[in-house]
Chain A
């Protein structure tokens, strides 16, 4: 396995969105070692404390624990604060995006997104380039 392969966590209460992100990663041929999925912030934290994760894709509006709470919890955690988070959400509020960025969110992808923008955002956040 490629040593640069990533462990990615996808957090969205919609299974169909998680599947679309997974398919986009596959088609983009982004090297993925493990792809973890969680349906809300609380499930995501469980994955994060027990598995090494390089990058998180998170929705905002989710039951149990929202993406905003997840970001806040991660930003206060000694171990999790440095894991890059990309928000993938339908929300168009620049105020909220600004607020999330100030809490460490690295990029924001607004739904609906094109599949190749998943790859572009990984290249941007992780500072890598994947060949076509």
Chain B
């Protein structure tokens, strides 16, 4: 998904490359996730999972400050939400063009436990990236018109 690579490069000056899940060093790392839904011509949810330490790196880069600055660490969750928010906006224009209007929900952040992480990794709707050597997971689930229960893989 080129959109995500472009967004994280522009927002956080970090380089994302698509990676195979088995090549990602996810073991023993704590992850944060952020998710948001969109409604309009299409409906669905976009979510992202990022190692907790990488979130402060993202915040530091966005702000142009050092990662161990308390001002930065307090904004890790905020940085993750904003990364998702911008990614979501660009995914939607990528898929639907500039005409349709979408309503976006406010991104919600939470910690990811091991069971949730393996669920993410086994889901066919999860895209996996190496972002400056950090494993990053992005999930896009779409609901077709009228078939609210059918999630489709929209890669």
Contact = CB atoms under 8 A, between A and B. Distances in A.
Quick check: do A and B touch in the complex, using CB within 8 A? yes
Contacts of B100: 93, 95
B11 A61 contact: no
Interface stretch (B25-33, B74-82, B117-125, B141-149): B74-82
A89 interface: yes
A84 B104 CA distance: 25
B139 to A, nearest CB: 18
Contact of B81 (A14, A91, A92): A14
A111 B86 contact: yes
B61 to A, nearest CB: 11
Interface in B60-101: 62-64, 75, 78-79, 81-82, 85-86, 88-90, 92-93, 98-101
Contact of B82 (A16, A91, A92, A95): A16
A20 B89 contact: no
A112 interface: yes
Contacts of B63: 16, 19-20, 23
Contacts of A20: 62-63
Contact of A95 (B7, B75, B99, B106): B99
Interface string A95-132: 11000000000000001100000000000000000000
A92 B81 CA distance: 18
Given A63-B106, A90-B88, A93-B93, A14 B101 contact: no
Interface footprint category on A: 20 to 34
B39 interface: no
Nearest to A63: B106
B86 A112 contact: yes
Nearest to B11: A112
Nearest to A13: B106
A117 to B, nearest CB: 12
B102 interface: yes
A16 B106 contact: no
A65 to B, nearest CB: 12
Contacts of A53: none
A82 interface: no
B59 interface: yes
B116 interface: no
A114 to B, nearest CB: 8
A94 interface: yes
Nearest to A60: B104
A119 to B, nearest CB: 16
Given A23-B64, A89-B89, A93-B93, 17 more contacts: A13-B106, A16-B63, A16-B82, A19-B75, A20-B63, A61-B85, A61-B104, A61-B106, A62-B106, A63-B106, A90-B86, A91-B89, A92-B89, A93-B100, A95-B98, A111-B11, A112-B86
